[in-house]
Chains A and B, each alone.
Chain A
Amino acid sequence: KQEVTQIPAALSVPEGENLVLNCSFTDSAIYNLQWFRQDPGKGLTSLLLIQSSQREQTSGRLNASLDKSSGRSTLYIAASQPGDSATYLCAVWDDYKLSFGAGTTVTVRA
């Protein structure tokens, strides 16, 4: 059974600092990997989807890398802003469904 782990569980940084969020998974036979953002009491917003054949994917200040062989992905958020405060979830597509990590809760201090 796929296990997805996100470290750290929580992170607090001053505004302007770059964020690095880590995700690891136990079974490297994944189809793809998706990063989400969740605000308190809300649903999930898709940030980036990395195909299994890709090494990274970028959208604005966000960059996600994928190393399938080692079972790792990293989400980088450049020049963090208070509006980036949220929980970030990593999920891997395997066996035609998503398996989620527990998330990293980020607080960006103004």
Chain B
Amino acid sequence: DVKVTQSSRYLVKRTGEKVFLECVQDMDHENMFWYRQDPGLGLRLIYFSYDVKMKEKGDIPEGYSVSREKKERFSLILESASTNQTSMYLCASSLSPTGGSNQPQHFGDGTRLSIL
């Protein structure tokens, strides 16, 4: 079974701090994704990566950056945390970039981040 592991389930940080969210997958997937989930807004894509050191902006990249130095690890960085970044953050990975060959996207358990 595919395992996507997010380093923290709950995290509390202060406004202005630099925040790192870590995600590791164990299935050698090329593609990794970061989403945030908010009530009433659903899941929205922040950034994705289709290879080591490659990254693409999603729908809401402002205020975030990412790092992918190794294939199995994808990090989301909040450069200067603000209260409007309080949210549930979900990491995902997939073998296919399109769901082809019956290769679904797999998700971690999420990190609930609170910015005070």
Chain B residues in the interface with A (C-beta under 8 A): 4, 33, 40, 42-43, 45, 48, 50, 58, 90, 92, 97-100, 102-110, 112
Contact = CB atoms under 8 A, between A and B. Distances in A.
B99 A31 contact: yes
Given A44-B90, A51-B99, A96 B50 contact: yes
A31 B100 CA distance: 7
Nearest to B108: A43
Chain A interface mostly helix, strand, loop or mixed?
Answer: strand
A43 B107 contact: yes
12 contacts: A41-B110, A43-B90, A43-B108, A44-B107, A46-B106, A51-B99, A51-B100, A91-B105, A93-B99, A96-B48, A100-B42, A102-B40
B108 A49 contact: no
A45 B45 contact: no
Given A51-B99, A89-B43, 12 more contacts: A31-B100, A32-B100, A34-B99, A42-B110, A43-B108, A44-B92, A44-B107, A49-B99, A49-B104, A91-B105, A93-B98, A93-B99
